[in-house]
Amino acid sequence: MTLDPELIDILVCPDCKSGVKLQEGKIICLGCGRKYPVKNGIPIMLIDESEPPNKQRGENA
């Protein structure tokens, strides 16, 4: 998956306002560690749609 590098440069985490990077098809916050999904090439930068930084695979809330 590729996103325009200029888009990644201007995106910030809506939770902590830190910069982000694209990794393994998700937008990862460099500050708090939240993971935001990318659907059909569109970053979904909504806190409610993100994975918390400590969430483990298979873990229930």
What average pLDDT does this structure show over 33-52?
Answer: 96
pLDDT, position 61: 47
Domains of the chain: 5-49 (2.20.25.10)
Q: Tell me what percent of the residues of the chain surpass a pLDDT of 90.
A: 79
Give the pair of three-digit tokens for residue 28.
């990862």
Q: Are 30 and 18 in contact (CB under 8 A)?
A: yes
The CA radius of gyration of the chain, in Å to the nearest whole number, is: 11
Q: Is the pLDDT of residue 60 over 60?
A: no
C-alpha 58/C-alpha 42 separation (Å) is 25
What's the chain's length in residues?
Answer: 61
* % of the chain at pLDDT higher than 70: 87
CA distance 6 to 49: 23
What is residue 57's predicted lDDT score, i.e. its pLDDT?
Answer: 58
Q: Higher-confidence residue: 35 or 54?
A: 35
Tally of CB atoms within 10 A around 55: 14
